[in-house]
């Protein structure tokens, strides 16, 4: 069908550009993900992993999910279920979903439902809990459980009702195009997009005929949760990249993800196959009382943002973030994005960055360019404590390992019957 890799890549990128993900609803995960409907099943971030291989934050989130679902009465019972293999694990990416950090998602947790209005495919992501001691970073105590129940019983229904007032859902592309001009790169900084979202939803939430205490709680939560939009950005990028992956050719990366042990990528011309290599550990700034020695190795599906071309690749859009993640100032932000521009094929006309002379964000991460240059994607990320139950301890940046790109390129050459010179 395609006469060259370049032609195939053009087709892949055309589908990414054409994608128009809309936020349709918030629903219980099991209602949209059939794999969660029977037995004890948890979704997790990254390529496939077993309980025995999981690092602290993912283990802590698994304990929390077992308690949340009522599978266990206490921590000891939950641990027993997990140790005895009574809980099955499925990567989020295998069921059209993504999850930040540990990515643990269970049947009754509410998920964002995003649909690409052009290509028709859906993508899912759980809701953002806020920061600090939260389940995605491995915390699972009583305060975490209380918040999760409130999100299920109050936040999700209120958001669902608000979204039902939009005829075709909420157009996220227009909102993101505005937010990137206001200093967001959609991974480490989402304050502008979250504020724009709040502005859009607040009148529809306030107008609901329900208990005013509930609507007040939701509005307050949205007003102080600066990272609320990251989960929407992740679902947006997942929907766009899944649409692109329908082109079964080319060398464009369609997924990047980490499970705390392995970093995995998928490539357009190689279908659903994972190419993995050991993760690196994020470097950055830490909350008071914590240090690099406390950092968990790289984890989470949120690198779907860098797969799409935002996040670390769009650091120039959010120079305010560079100091926070320990990456320097404005010059460092520009250098980072310029370097990333060497491994992406095009720029995204939808997401124009004023501080980059209105050049679009990067688009089309090419495994050939990564291997040829030796430049690996840089990822903006939160840093979890390596022990379960503690939560977030900092934020920083991390590099993808080169080895998975090398493996993928060798596999693509084999698939195309290209012999090494």
pLDDT tens track for 210-251:
989 999 999 999 999 999 999 999 999 999 999 999 999 999
pLDDT of residue 332: 85
How far is residue 417 from each of residues 111, 192, 271, measured CA to CA in Å? 42, 47, 17
- Which residue(s) pair with 256 in the sheet? 265
**CA separation for the pair 276, 402 (Å, rounded):** 10
Quote the crossing angle between the two packed helices 172-179 and 191-206, to the nearest 10°: 130
User: What radius of gyration do the chain's Cα atoms show?
Assistant: 20
Contact 347, 313 (CB under 8 A): no
Closest-CA residue to 308 (of 344, 277, 283, 339): 344
Q: Scanning the structure block, which residue is given the tokens 């009522």?
A: 70
| φ, ψ at 9 (rounded to 5°) | -60, -40
Q: From its phi and psi, is residue 87 left (phi > 0), alpha (psi between -120 and 50) or beta? A: beta
Q: From its phi and psi, is residue 85 left (phi > 0), alpha (psi between -120 and 50) or beta? A: left
Query: Which pLDDT tens digit goes with each residue over 284-312?
Result: 889 999 999 999 999 999 999 999 999 99
Domain 20-232: homologous superfamily in CATH: Enterococcus faecalis V583 domain (3.90.1710.10)
Contact 198, 221 (CB under 8 A): no
Instruction: Tell me whether the CATH fold assigned to 20-232 matches the one assigned to 247-415.
Output: no
| φ, ψ at 146 (rounded to 5°) | -60, -45
Looking at per-residue pLDDT, the higher value among 176 and 326 belongs to 176
Contact 125, 239 (CB under 8 A): no
pLDDT of residue 420: 57
**CA separation for the pair 45, 222 (Å, rounded):** 25
Residue 209: DSSP 8-state: S
The confidence band for 324, taking pLDDT boundaries of 50, 70 and 90, is low
Query: Which pLDDT tens digit goes with each residue over 106-135?
Result: 999 999 999 999 999 999 999 999 987 899
The confidence band for 326, taking pLDDT boundaries of 50, 70 and 90, is low
Contact 346, 13 (CB under 8 A): yes
Q: What is the mean pLDDT of the chain?
A: 95
Considering the four listed CATH numbers 3.90.1700.10, 3.90.1150.10, 3.50.50.60, 3.40.50.2000, the one that applies to the domain covering 247-415 is 3.90.1700.10
Q: Where are the domains of the chain?
A: 20-232, 247-415
Least confident of 228-232, 331-335, 411-415: 331-335
């Amino acid at each position: 069908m395609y006469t060259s890799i370049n032609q195939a890549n053009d087709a892949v990128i055309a589908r990414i550009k054409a994608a128009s993900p809309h936020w349709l609803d918030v629903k219980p995960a099991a209602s949209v993900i059939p794999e969660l409907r029977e037995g004890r099943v948890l979704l997790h971030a990254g390529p496939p992993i077993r309980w025995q291989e999981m690092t602290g934050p993912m283990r802590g989130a698994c304990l929390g999910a077992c308690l949340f679902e009522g599978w266990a009465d206490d921590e000891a019972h939950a641990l027993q279920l997990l140790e005895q293999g009574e809980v099955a694990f499925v990567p989020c990416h295998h069921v059209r979903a993504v999850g930040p950090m540990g990515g643990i998602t269970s049947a009754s947790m509410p998920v964002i439902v995003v649909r690409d209005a052009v290509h028709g495919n859906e993508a899912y992501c759980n809701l953002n809990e806020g920061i600090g001691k939260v389940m995605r970073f491995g915390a699972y105590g009583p305060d975490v459980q209380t918040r999760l129940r409130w999100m299920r019983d109050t936040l999700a229904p209120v958001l669902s009702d608000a979204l039902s007032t939009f005829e075709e859902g909420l157009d996220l592309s227009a909102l993101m195009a505005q937010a990137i001009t206001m200093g967001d790169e959609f991974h480490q900084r989402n304050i502008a997009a979250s504020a724009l979202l709040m502005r859009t939803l607040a009148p529809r939430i306030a107008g609901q005929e329900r208990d005013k205490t509930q609507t007040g709680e939701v509005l307050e939560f949205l007003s102080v949760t600066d990272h609320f939009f990251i989960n929407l950005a992740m679902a947006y990028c997942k929907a766009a990249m899944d649409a692109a992956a329908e082109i079964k050719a080319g060398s464009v990366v369609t997924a990047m993800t980490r499970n705390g042990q392995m970093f995995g990528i998928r490539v357009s011309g190689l279908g659903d196959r994972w190419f993995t290599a050991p993760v690196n550990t994020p470097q950055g700034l830490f909350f008071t009382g914590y240090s690099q020695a406390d950092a968990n190795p790289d984890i989470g599906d949120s690198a779907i943002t860098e797969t799409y071309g935002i996040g670390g690749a769009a650091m120039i859009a959010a120079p305010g973030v560079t100091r926070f993640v320990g990456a320097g100032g404005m010059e460092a932000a520009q250098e980072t994005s310029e370097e990333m521009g060497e491994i992406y094929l095009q720029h995204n006309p939808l997401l124009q960055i004023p501080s980059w002379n209105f050049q679009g964000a990067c688009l089309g991460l090419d495994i050939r360019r990564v291997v040829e240059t030796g430049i690996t994607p840089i990822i903006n990320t939160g840093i979890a404590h390596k022990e379960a139950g503690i939560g977030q301890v900092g934020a920083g940046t991390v590099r993808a390992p080169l080895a998975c790109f090398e493996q993928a390129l060798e596999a693509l050459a084999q698939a195309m019957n290209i012999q090494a010179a």
